[in-house]
Amino acid sequence: MSAAPKYATRRNPANPTFGARIAAVAAYLGGSLMPGQRQGADVALELDPDTPGAWRYPVGVVTVPRQAGKSFLLRAVMVDRMMAYNRHEILMTAQTGKDARKRWKQVNTALNAEKKPGYFKVYASQGSERTEYLKRGSFISPFAPTPKSIHGDSLHLVTVDEAWSFDAEAGLALETAINPTQLTITDSQLWIVSTKGTDKSAYFNELIRQGRKSVDDPHSRMCFFEW
């Protein structure tokens, strides 16, 4: 993600952003944001000038080649949300429940959470996995990418990794289940990231089509980046 993106939502310098905070969290997790990751964070974390406390873009869609650091960027965004805000619920999924749990474990490893009982509490029971930041009462929890697996009715952040794996029906069902959980949350956000898939990746292919159109729409509520 060092090259310029093919499509990108432009940064509005008039809007404050918490992109620098994501960069600081990335360093805390043992890495650093590549230029493209920082560009995406700066735009996606712009604040809405018309709604105090809200994000300018409730939906963020990012498509990148493999091994381009998309999962690390998501990890930094989720950890920032957990550690910066009180009582925030952050849910994460991927192409399967097993993959979601694997990425959740990577969050714990990066935080060294299980060895910091004064800061974090890790619940590892199957189906009830979550990592709580005790100071804030906020947590990150994985879920299988099915509507019935989404738990909670006040989700501040939901991340979907490898969305290429969903066909139109599965992707729409997942998004339809997520949307009601964020309706009453001022600072809710949905991040969907993925490499490009195939002709069968109908759900993400449609998001790419919408995203490409959105970059020229100053009123769009979607933040879109394509490398």
Contact 75, 107 (CB under 8 A): yes
Kindly report the length of the chain: 227
For the chain, the domain total comes to: 1
* Tens of pLDDT, residues 66-97: 776 889 999 999 999 999 999 999 999 999 99
**Cα 47 from chain centroid (whole Å):** 16
The predicted structure's pLDDT at residue 150: 87
Domain contains 1 = no
Phi-psi domain of 69 (left: phi exceeds 0; alpha: psi -120 through 50; beta: other): left
CATH number of residue 132's parent domain = 3.40.50.300
Which residue, among 209, 193, 206, has the nearest Cα to 36 in the 3D structure? 193
Query: Is the pTM value of this prediction over 0.85?
Result: yes
Question: What span, in angstroms and rounded, lies between the C-alpha atoms of 75 and 110?
Answer: 9
* SS3 at position 66: coil
Q: What is the mean pLDDT of residues 14-42?
A: 97
- DSSP strand pairing (157-161 vs 89-93): parallel
Question: What span, in angstroms and rounded, lies between the C-alpha atoms of 131 and 39?
Answer: 28
CA angle 75, 77, 122 (to 5 degrees): 55
Name the amino acid, one letter, at 175: E
| Residue found by looking up tokens 């997790």 in the block | 29
Contact 107, 157 (CB under 8 A): no
Domain contains 63 = yes
* Tens of pLDDT, residues 50-72: 999 999 999 999 999 877 688 99
* Tens of pLDDT, residues 162-189: 999 999 999 999 999 999 999 999 999 9
Q: What is the DSSP string of 71-103?
A: HHHHHHHHHHHHHHSTT-EEEEE-SSHHHHHHH
Domain contains 2 = no
Domain contains 222 = yes
Q: Which two tokens stand for residue 23?
A: 């960069």
Which residues form the domain of 163? 7-226
* SS3 at position 217: coil
Q: Which two tokens stand for residue 3?
A: 């090259």
